Amino acid sequence: MAYALTLADGRVQLRLHVQPRAVRSRLLGLHDGCLKVAVASPPVDGRANLAVCRFLADLLGVAPRDVVLDSGTQARKKRVVVANIDEPTLRARLAAALPPTGGEKR
């Protein structure tokens, strides 16, 4: 799956498609090679970006400081970098949180 990539320094980069102003924050599945994440926060003053980072930190069991927005501050397509977790563990925790029919969508 192309949504996660281990970087040379051991951190893991995630490609995301973010849906702000959702009813609740959750993983929705895969969308166009990205992990689709819904967050309840609006895309105003960076609140949705902060919500994405906090949601992922909680879901992955890492500290909030370990999830950093790498690119896409003003776009739905974002890249975040996650520290202190390896890619197999990250994928397993994400898979456990995905809906049962979390197939690839385009």
Q: What is the pLDDT of residue 24?
A: 95
Q: What is the pLDDT of residue 104?
A: 52
Cβ 18 vs Cβ 48: under 8 Å: yes
Q: In whole angstroms, give the CA distance from residue 72 to residue 97.
A: 24
Domain 4-101 = CATH 3.40.50.2300: no
- Residue pLDDT, tens place only, 37-93: 999 999 999 999 999 999 999 999 999 999 999 999 999 999 999 999 999 999 999
Q: What is the pLDDT of residue 2?
A: 79
- Residue pLDDT, tens place only, 93-104: 999 998 886 455
Instruction: Name the phi and psi angles at 78, rounded to 5.
Output: -135, 160
pLDDT at 1 over 70: no
Q: What is the pLDDT of residue 102?
A: 45
Quote the radius of gyration of the chain (alpha carbons, Å): 12
Tell me which residue has tokens 């996660």.
4
Q: In whole angstroms, give the CA distance from residue 67 to residue 73.
A: 14
Q: What is the pLDDT of residue 99?
A: 84
Cβ 26 vs Cβ 32: under 8 Å: no
